[in-house]
Amino acid sequence: MEAYPSKIDSYLSELKEHSRAAISAFSVLEGSEIQVSLRFCVQKFLNECEAISEILWNSHDKKLRKHIRSVLSISGDSPFSPADFSELRVAFREIEKTGGTEKNLKDKGMENTPEANTGFQELAAFSYDPGAKILTYDGKNYEILPLFLAARDLYATLPFFKELQACTEIFEKNPEDATSLFQKAVLLYKARRFEAALQLTAQVLEIVTDDHRVWYNRGVILSEMGQLEEALAAYNRTIELEPAFEIAWDNKGVTLARLGRFEEALETYEKVLVRSPKYAEAWAGKGSILSALGKKEEALEAYSLALKIRPDYLEALTCTGSLLSRLGRFEEALETYDRSLRLAPTEIGPWAGRSFVLLEL
């Protein structure tokens, strides 16, 4: 698509403007309690979403718009697609008419006439439930959360467009190029498009089934999505393929801890430390598990070993300070927090811990 760089830039600029405006309108909508203001926010939100839909699916420059959708991983069943948006568009038009009728009556000084009563009855037929994120108009419910999430995802993805475009074009030329597809998955992960990134890792694994990096990243994505058992399986597969890949062991330990399986997490850290005794993150992870199991002195020793390997390991320092504080060793805790703050003077955690210790001294 080198022949249309200016057009692409123009469309991207418009998409950025409309997605940002849609996010803003939705945020205001969530806090709006006045009916007229509520309707205005809904109108604004839907208007911006309609503009996004138009940019992505207008029949003019059809090939170019399809390319943009492909680069941004916007599928045919997106909430912005004409098929999905059409029903909401009809309701949107009716809401606009209601708003226009009410304004005209007020402008003419006819607020208390039968016509006005009809207009206000139509207005009363409109409501929004901020908890369920459901718009109700004329007795029919419309979910608008998917539209907001789509607008948020679009806005988050746009800064990566050039890199995504390069990956997309390479893969379109060579559908066996797993690297370009994997890089695209990583970019979408950075944009916090976890579902889309996960789908791409599945496609990558159809091409290269035994790449430990892909399995590891799949585990990271699943973990972010809260799918912990699936994440654990991905980390196990990573370790099976590449036992020396230390960070997979660490993430496995964290995932087991999140599942409440502390003994298994401890065993995981002990296994990796046999292989890599100078892996500071594993010592810190072991310390966290021992602390959760109530073995505070052993946890302190594990944190100490992590800090011998990496004296500037902020997380281990902060955890050490917290543990010393719980053990009533406030002078040592204060000294540890001070070390943390010399490394990271703007970090909130050490300041909060230090304040607590000072109250106890």
Angle CA 261–267–268, to nearest 5:
90
What is the reported pLDDT for 113? Answer: 47
Return the pLDDT at 157.
98
pLDDT digits (tens, 9 = 90+) for 133-170: 888 877 888 888 999 999 999 999 999 999 999 999 99
**Do residues 358 and 349 touch, judged by C-beta distance below 8 A?**
no
Q: What is the DSSP string of 104-158?
A: HHHHTT-TTSHHHHHHHHHHHTEEEETTTTEEEETTEEEE-HHHHHHHHHHHHHG
The phi and psi torsions of 321 (rounded to 5 degrees) equal -60, -45
What is the CATH code for 174-242?
1.25.40.10
**Mean local confidence (pLDDT), 11-22:** 97
Contacts of 195 (CB under 8 A, 6+ apart): 225
Q: What is the pLDDT of residue 119?
A: 45
pLDDT confidence tier of residue 4, bands split at 50, 70 and 90: low
Q: Is there a contact between 128 and 38 (Cβ–Cβ < 8 Å)?
A: yes
CA torsion 202→207→210→211, rounded to 10°?
-80
> Between these two residues, 210 and 88, which has the higher pLDDT value?
210
Contact 52, 18 (CB under 8 A): yes
Which residue has 């969530």 as its token pair?
30
Using an 8 Å Cβ cutoff, are 37 and 45 in contact?
no
Contacts 24+ apart (CB under 8 A), 82-86: 82/53, 82/57, 85/49, 85/50, 85/53, 85/147
Top-confidence residue, 246 or 101: 246
Pick 162 or 31 by higher pLDDT.
Answer: 162
Question: Which residues neighbour 229 within 8 Å (Cβ) at sequence distance 6 or greater?
Answer: 259
CA-CA distances (angstroms) from residue 322 to 220, 250, 276? 27, 21, 26
For the stretch 320-344, pLDDT in tens is 999 999 999 999 999 999 999 999 9
Owner of token pair 């991905």: 234
Quickly tell me which residue has 């409440």 as its tokens. 260
Q: What is the pTM of this model?
A: 0.85
- Tens digit of pLDDT for each residue in 277-316? 999 999 999 999 999 999 999 999 999 999 999 999 999 9
Q: pLDDT class for 114, splitting at 50, 70, 90? A: very low
Question: What's the pLDDT at 110?
Answer: 46
Structural contact between residues 221 and 212, judged by C-beta atoms closer than 8 angstroms: no
Distance between CA atoms of residues 252 and 265, nearest Å: 7
**With left for phi above 0 and alpha for psi between -120 and 50, is residue 294 left, alpha or beta?**
left
Query: Which among 68-77, 86-95, 129-138 has the top mean pLDDT?
Result: 68-77
35: confidence class by pLDDT, cuts 50, 70, 90: low
Per-residue model confidence (pLDDT) at position 36:
56
- Distance from C-alpha of 166 to C-alpha of 172, rounded to nearest angstrom: 10
On the 0-12 / 13-18 / 19+ scale of CB atoms within 10 A, 69 is middle
What's the pLDDT at 97? 65
